[in-house]
Structure 1
Amino acid sequence: MIPDRSGTGSDASDADPSAATGRSLVIVEDDTTFARTLKRSFEKRGYQVVLCPDGSELAAVLETLAPDYAVVDLKLGTGSGLECVKLLAARDPDMRIVVLTGFASIATAVEAIKLGACHYLAKPANTDDIETAFGRAEGDVSVPLSSRPTSIKNLEWERIHETLVETGFNISETARRLGLHRRTLARKLEKRVVK
C-alpha cells in the first residue's frame, strides 16, 4: 500500500480515477512517449498527473501545484534530474520522489537519496515498480549480499558516472577530468544506455 497523504487510507489498486484528491504526481521525463505512457497508467490508478520535460518547466509547475509524488528521470537532455530532486524536496520534504535512470550507478543513487528521493530505480521501470517504490519508507535488510567482486568494467562505469555527477553531466568536463577524449567517453556512455 502506498502512503496516502489525503487521509482517506485508500489503496492504489482500489482508487477511483475520479477521486484523485491528494494523489497528485509530477513526472519529469524528456522521453515524451515514455512520459505519456506513465501518465496514462497513473491516471488509471487515480492520480492527477502533470508532465514536465525538464527542470525549468518543473519550477513553473511548482508555482501552482504541490504534488504528493514525483517521478524524475536522472538524465534530462543535457541536464541532471538531481537538480529536480533537490528542487522538489526543498518544496516539500515529505514528497515521495522516485528517480529513474538508464545510468544505474551507486554514486548517483547515493546522491539522489541524500537530496531527498525515497527510491532509485533502473530503467525500464513500470507503474507497479514505481508505486512500490513510493511506498518504501525503510531499507530492506533481506536484500542478499553479493559475494562476487566488482568487475573492472563496473568500477570504470562507477568512476565515469561519479565524475558525470560532479560535473553536472557536462561530457566535455567529465572527459577532461578522466583524461579521456570526449568522443571516447561518448562511445562508452552510449554502450551503457538502457533502452
Structure 2
Amino acid sequence: MPQRDAQKQKTRRQIVAAAARLIRERGPAAVRVADVMWATGLTHGGFYAHFGSREALLAEALASATAYREHWLNIAGATNEADWVAGIARRYLSTTHRRQPGAGCPYPEALAETSRAGGALRESLQVELRHTFDRMQEGLGDAPNGMSADARARSLLALFVGAMQLARAFDDDAEADAILDAARAFAAPATPHATNHAGTGD
C-alpha cells in the first residue's frame, strides 16, 4: 500500500507539472484535461483518480507554476536594493523568457482570463499574487518620495507582467525587445540604493 500511495503521488505531481507548463504556454482557459493527460502519457479516464474536477487541477497547477518566482527573485551577487531590482528586471524581462513562456512565469498568460473566472482558480491566482507581492517586498524599502515597499512591489510586478504581455503580442523581435528594454530601463533607475536586500542569494 505505501508503494501504491507513493506511485499515486508521483503521478499526481506529473499531472500538475504538465498542467502548469500548459498554463504558462496557453493560459488556463485553453488547457484541456485530455491534453494534460496525453502530456503525461496517461489516459483521460485516470484523471478523476487524482482530481475531482478540471478547475481543481488548474488551481493547483497555477500555484505550482508560480514557484518560478524564486528563479527570478534570487539574484546572486546583488549587494544593494538597486542591484537586486536591476537583476530581477534583467531576468524577468529577458528575450529568453519572452520566447519560452512554458518555462517561465504564468502571470502574463493567465492573468487576463483568470481575473474573469471564479471559484478555486481565481482564489489560487489571488493567493499567489499576494505571495509574490510579499516576496518582492522583502527586497525593497520605502522610497524617498514616501512610496511604501508594498506599493513599490505591486508597481514593479505590474510593470514586469504588463511589459511581457505587450512584448509577446509582437511577432517582430526588434519591436518586442524594445518593449522589454524600455521596461528594464524604467525599473532600474527608479530604484534607490538601500541595505534592505533580502532574497538576493541563489
TM-score over 0.5 (shorter chain) = no
Larger relative strand fraction: 1
Point out the structure with max Rg over C-alpha: 2
Q: TM-score normalised by the shorter chain: which range applies?
A: under 0.3
TM-score scaled by structure 2?
0.27
Where relative contact order (Cα < 8 A, 6+ residues apart) is larger, the structure is 2
TM-score scaled by structure 1?
0.28
Larger relative helix fraction: 2
